[in-house]
Every structure is written in C-alpha cells, then in structure tokens.
Amino acid sequence: MQSIEPFIIELRSQKVILDSDVAKIYGVETRDINKAVKNNLDKFPDGYIFKLSKHELEYLRGNFSTTNNTMQLSKTRVLPKAFTEKGLYMLATIIKSKQATNATLQIIETFAKVREFSNVAKSLATEKSELKKQSLIKKSGQLIGDILNQEFADDTSSETTIELNLAMIKIKHKIIKNKK
C-alpha cells in the first residue's frame, strides 16, 4: 500500500482524489471506477463526485507536474472525475476487494488526520497563549508524523524534515524512522 496523502488535492474548495488515483490506490483500472459510478448513480448525489472542467484539468496539468498523476492527466481524452471524501466512502461500498478495503481504511484515516491538522493550524494562527501554542505545535507535529508514518513504515532508516509557515509561526518537525 502506498501513502494516500500525495493523491489528495484541493479543487472547488474541497479535498478530493481523482478517479485515476483512486484506481491506482484500489488496484483497478480507471474505467472500472467510472463503470462502478455509472452503474450506481443513485449512490453519488451532488457533493460526492464531480467532473472536472477543461479549465480545472489544464490547471492540474500545469500546477501539479510533480504528482503521481501527471502522466495520466496529460494522456486523458476524457475529463476526470474527482471524488470527495463522501464519494470515496460511497465508492468503498461498491468496489469490493481486500486492497480496496485496506485503501478505504487508509483514506478514512488520512482524511481525518488532514482535517484535524487543518483545525489545529487554524487554532494555532489565532491562539494568544504561548502555552497553548506550544501544545498546538506539538499536536500538529504528531499529526504530520501520523500522516507520513505510513509512507516510511517499511524504510530501514529515513529522516524527513517538514517546515510549515503559518502566518508568523514556523513549525519544523523532524521524523526519524529506524528499522524495528
């Protein structure tokens, strides 16, 4: 299993994962994902899934050149679909396989941690108490570590430094993993 976090992008003020990335995560073809949606349209009301506009596709092609999806975005002849968190949960009820189940659990955990990190970052920007700020900084570091922990789980040794600039506060968190 690969980390889910790199596949999460923001479009229309929502965190989403594109259909081709969902297919990679679930170990199926993109056409299988789209077929599942087409055969179960009643399970995907507004807010669960949307088709990208040409403008959004061009934006992604131009601004996400380092993502795992760049090659597929440049080759696609069809406008991709974007799954919101709710859409991913619904898709999990349709796509049945061990890999899909494991991926769904990872997606749920990652989205929850990203949402929690976002809330901590917002609180940190407005917090006046230095003691509470330190606590929030520690919490944000733990969340980043949790999000990235899956990515480094099999490494024998790795070191990652993450720096986030939030308004006037700079958070630096170092993750060091050694083989257990």
What would the pLDDT profile of 39-80 be if each residue is shown by its tens digit?
A: 999 999 999 999 999 999 988 888 765 445 544 666 677 899
The secondary structure of 20-33, three-state, reads HHHHHHHCCCHHHH
Residue 66, pLDDT score: 44
106 or 18: whose pLDDT is higher?
A: 18
8-12, 25-29, 126-130: least confidently modelled range: 126-130
Q: Residue 174 — pLDDT band, cuts 50, 70, 90?
A: low
* Mean pLDDT of all residues in 108-114: 79
Cβ distance 118 to 72 under 8 Å? no
Contact predicate 127/119, CB 8 Å: no
Backbone φ and ψ for 97, nearest 5 degrees, come out as -170, 160
pLDDT at 151 over 50: no
The pLDDT value recorded for residue 98 is 76
CA distance 178 to 123: 32
What pLDDT sits at residue 108?
A: 78
Q: Sorting pLDDT into bands at 50, 70 and 90, what band is 1?
A: very low
> Can you give the pLDDT at residue 74?
64
Q: Specify the higher pLDDT residue, 97 or 31.
A: 31
Task: List the one residue out of 22, 164, 12 whose CA is nearest residue 80.
Answer: 22
177/169 Cα distance (integer angstroms): 26
According to DSSP, the β-strands at 81-84 and 157-166 are unpaired
CA distance 175 to 180: 15
Cβ atoms of residues 113 and 143 within 8 Å: yes
